Amino acid sequence: MLLGDRHPWEYANPRHTKRYENKLAYLQRKLAKKKKGSKNRDKVRQKVARLHAKIADSRLDNLHKLSRKLINENQVVCVESLAVKNMIRNPKLAKHIADASWGEFVRQLKYKAEWAGRTIAEIDRFYPSSKRCSCCGFVHESMPLNIRDWTCPECNTHHDRDINAAMNLKTVGLAGLA
């Protein structure tokens, strides 16, 4: 399983969360139209607060499901210690990160790994997993997040960004355990 630059929630059945989020957007528009200090505004505000709590619960639940699945299915899980930084640079994902963190996900992976006798290999955040060609080791100077696939100028291999990064993380993660 490959998470790459995408947030684990995108893999963790966000169907319910999405439904809550749509409802939240609707209520927030409604709230904006209510007169300040009015009873009606108060009612809508309470609904918004309840929905926020529901969304947080449902996201946490999704994270637990995904971390459990990863631990169940793999003997070793390699994680980048600071994928958050990359994701925050991507405005589409910043919203998710603000609500709950990659850190929480890694925390869950770690304690579940301990329970199940699995190994978590954490890879240093400065390791250029996205910029490095997993075939020949060529390293790009930069690799903007909008580039989803690329061809290595050195060995001509065509890479999917996320798969190439995962291959690098796997190699360096397993090497660290050896």
Contact positions toward Zn ion, by CB under 5 A? 133, 135-136, 138, 152, 154-155
Q: For residue 126, what are the contacts with CB-CB under 8 A and spacing of at least 6?
A: none
Q: Are 44 and 31 in contact (CB under 8 A)?
A: yes
Least separation in angstroms between CB 153 and Zn ion: 8
The amino acid that residue 134 corresponds to is S
Least separation in angstroms between CB 140 and Zn ion: 10
Least separation in angstroms between CB 167 and Zn ion: 12
The three-state DSSP-derived secondary structure of 77-121 is EEEECCHHHHHHHCHHHHHHHHHCCHHHHHHHHHHHHHHHCCEEE
Find the length of the chain: 178
Least separation in angstroms between CB 28 and Zn ion: 48
* Closest to Zn ion by CB, 90 or 157: 157
* Closest to Zn ion by CB, 49 or 136: 136
* Closest to Zn ion by CB, 40 or 156: 156
* Closest to Zn ion by CB, 1 or 155: 155
Q: Of 166, 60, 67, 154, which is closest to residue 109 (Cα–Cα)?
A: 67
